Amino acid sequence: MATLLAFPILGALAVLQTSLVSRVPLLLGTPDLMLLVIAAWALQKKVETAWQWTVVAGVLATLSSALPIGVAFVSYGIATGLALLLRQRIWQAPVLAMFLVILTGTLVFHGLSIVALRLVGDPIPVLEALNLVTLPSLLLNLLLAAPTFYLIADLASWLYPAEVEV
Amino acid sequence: MNTTSSRPIQTIVFVLVALGLILLALGGYLSPVSRFLLNPIVSAQTWITQRYQFIQDFLSAPQDISRLRQRNQELEAEVARLQSQVIELQQQLVETNILSALVDFARANPENRYQAAAVIGYDTSPFLKYVFINRGSDDGLRRGMPVVTQQGLVGRIAAVTANAARVQLITDPASTVNVRLDPSGAQAVLKGQLTGDLLLDMVPQEADLQVGDLVLTSGLGGGYPANILIGQVSGIRSRDQDLFKRATLQSVVDFTQLEIVLVITNFRPLDTAPLVPEEGTP
């Protein structure tokens, strides 16, 4: 059930990202809705389908971008791995872990994108990319991190209701 | 006897008095008297009528209010429906204008065959300048086909699926287009930038480059058909020690407002890769 739910949710986010979010950048940066959702999902205590959601997000991100194949998979994979690691350690303030995962995930995604594009012969100027793309994207992702986390927490508590001792 | 003879006289006197009164009234001589007599009557009539109307309103008001509320809801629903209809029609008008301009462009360039397509999305990576269109290989689209609007060159198809395609815009950092300057005729290379700007590179130093010069595709390299308008030179960067001049370009196409584009379907890009000598070969 939780895995199947990834398809409509992440699919809708991919559509939203291509049709709307990518059209309204801050400087040249845009928020990464799928990164936000998979990070928030992986940080929920009872969730056991974080990797499945990551794969679905990776497939959708690869289909909706001309970035070299693998960049999205690796970036989302690192973000999910970090989220799962932090979930076990920072269990009293998971929203702080969310900020840390988003910060790392955004920097990793953009860093890998620049490296991969340069490897395939696309000369992205690093400093310009950092100033105009990465920092604005990071700001937008961090602004959306907390609302996304609580929305996904609601979804998780709906899917995995708390057990009541009788 | 007296009674019967006096009756006609009474009648005549009565008629004469009545006529006199009417004449006096018509002459305005009885106004003070009539006002004195009629004012209390009019006041009383007004007071009774007002009370009657008040009571009638009081008794019939609940029915009116519920009817008015229902009518108000109906009218509000009608207004909302008409507003959405207006928005829809405005959208259709915009699309019709765009299509009309595209048809004019296609008529002005009859040597090409075109397939119109709507832009349905932008690349999710902010490092890349690609758009998605709603036509694919089922509609005859192939990789490498040029994409234009009525204003000028947009880019070329980079990937195709059955019913969609990804178009690399000329503003993409990896995009290069061989161009010709008008009127000087000099050849140059147009490169996309991360910022979405266009940079004209490899302009020979001896070329007479001026701000406002037109930039068109040259057709060299076989990537694009010749003579498609791209934009105008907006600034020149030239230093004596450089081998080539550089210039910035103002594109004729607004890449942030792309809605409908035309794919030139009868153009096949040339694959020049086999003609490029490999390193180490004589």
Q: What is the pLDDT of residues A96-148, one digit of tens each?
A: 899 999 999 999 999 999 999 999 888 788 999 999 999 999 999 999 999 99
Specify the number of domains making up chain B: 1
d(CA B31, CA B82): 59
Reduce the DSSP state of residue B173 to 3 states and report it: coil
Distance between the two ends of chain B, CA-based, in angstroms?
162
Contacts of A22 in chain B (CB under 8 A): 121-124, 126
pLDDT tens per residue, chain B (282 residues)? 455 567 788 888 889 998 888 888 888 887 888 778 778 888 888 888 888 888 887 777 777 788 888 899 999 999 999 999 999 999 888 888 888 888 887 777 777 888 889 999 999 999 999 999 999 999 999 999 999 998 899 999 999 999 999 999 999 999 999 999 988 888 999 999 988 889 999 888 888 888 889 999 988 888 898 889 999 999 888 787 888 888 999 999 999 888 889 999 988 887 766 776 666 665
Question: What range does the domain containing B142 cover?
Answer: 114-269
Nearest Cα of chain B lies from the Cα of A52 at a distance, in angstroms, of: 21
CB pair distance less than 8 Å for A128 and B195:
yes
A91 token code pair: 């269990």
Higher confidence at residue A89 or residue A85? Answer: A85
Contact B179, B187 (CB under 8 A): yes
Q: What's the CATH code of the domain at B203?
A: 2.40.10.350
User: Which of B120, B124, B256 shows the shortest C-beta gap to A61?
Assistant: B124
Computed over every residue of chain A, the mean pLDDT equals 90
d(CA A24, CA B179): 31
Nearest Cα of chain B lies from the Cα of A104 at a distance, in angstroms, of: 17
CB pair distance less than 8 Å for A19 and B174:
no
- Name the residue ranges covered by the structural domains of chain A: 2-159
Nearest Cα of chain B lies from the Cα of A65 at a distance, in angstroms, of: 5
Contacts of B166 in chain A (CB under 8 A): 66
Asked if residue B189 belongs to a domain, the reply is yes
- Is residue A1 predicted with pLDDT exceeding 50? yes
ipTM value, please give it: 0.88
B184 token code pair: 């000087």
The pLDDT of residue B278 is: 67
The pLDDT of residue B276 is: 67
Any idea what DSSP says for residue B267? -
CA dist B175 → A54, A132, B66, B267 (Å) = 31, 19, 67, 18
Mutate to test the interface with A, among B120, B122, B157 (most CBs of A within 10 A): B122
pLDDT bucket at A165, cuts 50 / 70 / 90: low
Residue B211 β-bridge partners: none
B45 token code pair: 């009539």
Give me the residue label for tokens 């993409």: B172
B188 token code pair: 């140059």
Asked if residue B235 belongs to a domain, the reply is yes
Reduce the DSSP state of residue B33 to 3 states and report it: helix
Contact B182, B200 (CB under 8 A): no
The pLDDT of residue B146 is: 93
User: Which of B121, B128, B158 shows the shortest C-beta gap to A67?
Assistant: B128
Q: Which of B259, B269, B223, B248 is nearest to B149 (CA)?
A: B259
The pLDDT of residue B57 is: 79
Higher confidence at residue B25 or residue A16? Answer: A16
B275 token code pair: 């003609």
Interchain CB contact of A116 with B (< 8 Å): no
Q: How many CB atoms lie within 10 A of CB B84?
A: 10
Contact A108, A81 (CB under 8 A): no
Task: Annotate B185-199 with b (16+ C-beta within 10 A) or e (fewer).
Answer: ebebbbbbbbebebb
The pLDDT of residue B208 is: 86
Residue B180 β-bridge partners: B187, B216
The dihedrals phi and psi of A123, each to the nearest 5 degrees, come to -80, 85
CB pair distance less than 8 Å for B132 and A132:
no
Interchain CB contact of A133 with B (< 8 Å): yes
d(CA B208, CA B184): 6
CB pair distance less than 8 Å for A19 and B125:
no
A4 token code pair: 């199947």
Higher confidence at residue A166 or residue A15? Answer: A15
The pLDDT of residue B244 is: 87
Counting beta carbons within 10 angstroms of the beta carbon of residue B167, is it exposed (0 to 12), middle (13 to 18) or buried (19 or more)?
Answer: buried
Reduce the DSSP state of residue B263 to 3 states and report it: strand
CB pair distance less than 8 Å for B121 and A66:
no
Interface of A with B in 48-67 (CB under 8 A): 61, 64-67
CA dist B249 → A122, B6, B155, B211 (Å) = 20, 121, 15, 9
Where does B93-133 show beta strands of DSSP type E? 114-122, 130-133
Counting beta carbons within 10 angstroms of the beta carbon of residue B106, is it exposed (0 to 12), middle (13 to 18) or buried (19 or more)?
Answer: middle
User: Which of A18, A29, A124 shows the shortest C-beta gap to B132?
Assistant: A18
